[in-house]
Structure 1
Amino acid sequence: MSTADEESQSRARTRAHVIVVGNQKGGSGKSTTVMHLCAALMAGGARVACLDLDADQGTLSRYIANRRAYAQKKGLQLPIPGFEALEAAKHDARADADAADRAAVADAVARLGASADFLVIDTPGADSNLSRVGHSYADTLITPLNDSFVDLDVLASIDPETYEVKHPSRYAEMVFRVKMEKAKREGTNRTFDWIVMRNRLGQLDSKNQRAMEIAMERLAKRIGFRTARGFSERVIFRELFLKGLTLLDLRNPGADVRMNMSHLAARQEVRDLMIEIGLTPPAPA
């Protein structure tokens, strides 16, 4: 049986909706986004698993480990998603390494997705075969993007005077290619919903934010995504990582974090994001 046939059969056995969180630029908040997506879906009663394809960096892996350790230390019943991490294959021949990556991802997606309603995949913050393979399994692709023109460059080159799109970036071109790969593998014209999530938004309206809105609107029409408001810049996200917590865990009295108005506003941002994305847990059987 060919690798393509194995991938097709693996995908057919996967009943989970696959959410890929991807961006080829580091520091955009991918792992924080993954954890909050998992927490929001589990809070709604969904069975959730997550797959870390950025095991070399390991941010998501440490987030999950911190969560388990904190729950055990405090005696908390925190929901924890099913979890696996994959490292890139190491072979002398590039073709052998690529094939091994494809087989490993196909197997992990099938195994984790068989018992989950949603599978959330965290990808490396750089161009790699493992990242490209992970993207090709998306039903929903979420690209967190810091709200600045420095980070917008990961999607396209923008004219500084008119904010017109000069040409798409390598990442945007890669997303187009994996859409075609997914359609070919699954034998369908359906690809995936691509959402660019504007992250680290400022608390006050600014000239930069208005300019970003114009550029994003034009870019969305050009390369085929929709936008969603993500998370504001808040210290609480860095504090929660050390305990493996999310904003949705703060109502638990054992979480040992005193709630304030900023935390409430941030928690509402998570709920608003889920509504904008349009992902809801399945109704009980």
Structure 2
Amino acid sequence: MAHIIVTGNEKGGSGKSTTAMHIFVALARAGMRVGALDLDLRQRTFFRYLENREAFARRTGQQLALPRRIALAASDLRDRIAAQEEEEARFSEAIAELERECDFILIDCPGSDSFYSQMAHAAADTLITPINDSLVDFDLLARVDPESGRVLGPSIYSEMVWKARQLRARAGLRPADWVVLRNRVSTLHARNKHKVGEAMAELSRRIGFRIVPGFSERVIFREMFLNGLTLLDLKEQGFTFSLSHVAARQEVRDLVRALNLPGLEKAA
């Protein structure tokens, strides 16, 4: 069976699509066959990124790796139960089709709750939650006492992941490896950074996720979107690396290594 990787967080702008894109390229460069679903049915940032990559390859005559993509649509049935049944059937068919020809399936979820997103979280073998290093973003994971900084309990997104874990357990599946990425971590010592770090460490012990370093705030991540490129592609493009670019590429490599994906140990 294909290993399913889901990037999920009920907040936009946390870096889900950028993370998914770089993981895809890392997998492809390791010789893995990858399938892709974009469950953000409105913005489709992940698929737009891939479309830009496809267009860049045509313009330049290059052979750039692309995943096997399946586009899903929202049900237009008025009855909620019937609509969910239709979406569940579409999701299951897409996963089954991709599993027949792929080693990995990458699923990028929207920055909001949806039935498709709930199914993806229940299907995840590896769940990656990018989170900006701020108390505003952390609020989706847990409620924090404003005076002591102590974690009071899980918040809406953590509760959704917990329900997805229960569904996996009832289906006899192994628990997902839940990985939280701290993105845009400031290099400066700041009280907010320290409080987020302490709260996240406490929460990880309580509800069971791993914390790994994500991506710093670097302009290069945004600049590559229009051409569909990643930091792992730039050497072949004759790109001149600055020290900042080298550091950013190392962040990608460190992330891939930290995910402990099956069959990727040597490649990482």
The reply to whether TM is greater than 0.5 is yes
- The question of 1:42 aligning with 2:28 is answered yes
Post-superposition shift, 1:170? Answer: 1.4
- Structure-2 residue corresponding to 1:68: 54
- Which of 41, 44, 50 matches 1:55? 41
Distance in 2 (CA, whole Å) between partners of 1:39 and 1:219 is 31
Post-superposition shift, 1:280? Answer: 4.9
- The question of 1:79 aligning with 2:61 is answered no
Q: Is contact 2:110–2:117 with CA below 8 Å preserved after alignment?
A: yes
Distance in 2 (CA, whole Å) between partners of 1:91 and 1:229 is 42
Distance in 2 (CA, whole Å) between partners of 1:249 and 1:26 is 25
Segments ≥4 residues shifted beyond 6 Å: none
- Structure-2 residue corresponding to 1:216: 200
- Structure-2 residue corresponding to 1:3: none
Distance in 2 (CA, whole Å) between partners of 1:134 and 1:146 is 22
Q: Is contact 2:39–2:116 with CA below 8 Å preserved after alignment?
A: yes
- Structure-2 residue corresponding to 1:265: 247
Distance in 1 (CA, whole Å) between partners of 2:247 and 2:36 is 26
Aligned partner letter, 2:181: M
- Structure-2 residue corresponding to 1:242: 226
Unaligned runs of 5+ in 1: 1-14
- Structure-1 residue corresponding to 2:150: 164
Distance in 1 (CA, whole Å) between partners of 2:107 and 2:79 is 26
- Structure-2 residue corresponding to 1:111: 97
Alpha-carbon displacement from aligned partner over 1:180-208 (angstroms, at most 9, x marks no partner) = 112223x34x2211111111122334332
- The question of 1:226 aligning with 2:210 is answered yes
Distance in 2 (CA, whole Å) between partners of 1:219 and 1:163 is 12
- Structure-2 residue corresponding to 1:139: 125
- Which of 257, 262, 265 matches 1:275? 257
Post-superposition shift, 1:241? Answer: 0.4
- The question of 1:123 aligning with 2:105 is answered no
Unaligned runs of 5+ in 2: none
Distance in 2 (CA, whole Å) between partners of 1:148 and 1:54 is 24
Alpha-carbon displacement from aligned partner over 1:16-67 (angstroms, at most 9, x marks no partner) = 1000110011111111010001011111221111111112111111101000
Q: Is contact 2:8–2:128 with CA below 8 Å preserved after alignment?
A: yes
- The question of 1:98 aligning with 2:84 is answered yes
TM-score by length of 1: 0.89
Alpha-carbon displacement from aligned partner over 1:139-161 (angstroms, at most 9, x marks no partner) = 01000100100100010111123
CA distance change for structure 1 residues 166 and 282 in 2, over 3 Å: closer, same or farther? closer
Aligned partner letter, 1:274: V
Post-superposition shift, 1:283? Answer: 8.5
- Structure-1 residue corresponding to 2:178: 194
Q: Indicate the SS of the match to 2:232.
A: helix
RMSD over aligned Cα, in angstroms?
Answer: 1.6
Q: Indicate the SS of the match to 1:32.
A: helix
CA distance change for structure 1 residues 68 and 29 in 2, over 3 Å: closer, same or farther? same
Count of aligned positions:
266
Q: Is contact 2:257–2:265 with CA below 8 Å preserved after alignment?
A: no
- Structure-2 residue corresponding to 1:252: 236
- Indicate the percent of aligned positions where both proteins have the same amino acid: 50
TM-score by length of 2: 0.95
Q: Indicate the SS of the match to 2:74.
A: coil
Distance in 1 (CA, whole Å) between partners of 2:243 and 2:265 is 32
Alpha-carbon displacement from aligned partner over 1:86-111 (angstroms, at most 9, x marks no partner) = 12212110001111111111111111
CA distance change for structure 1 residues 260 and 283 in 2, over 3 Å: closer, same or farther? closer
CA distance change for structure 1 residues 22 and 40 in 2, over 3 Å: closer, same or farther? same
- Structure-1 residue corresponding to 2:18: 32
Q: Indicate the SS of the match to 1:55.
A: coil
Distance in 1 (CA, whole Å) between partners of 2:12 and 2:74 is 17
Aligned partner letter, 1:37: I
Distance in 1 (CA, whole Å) between partners of 2:78 and 2:265 is 48
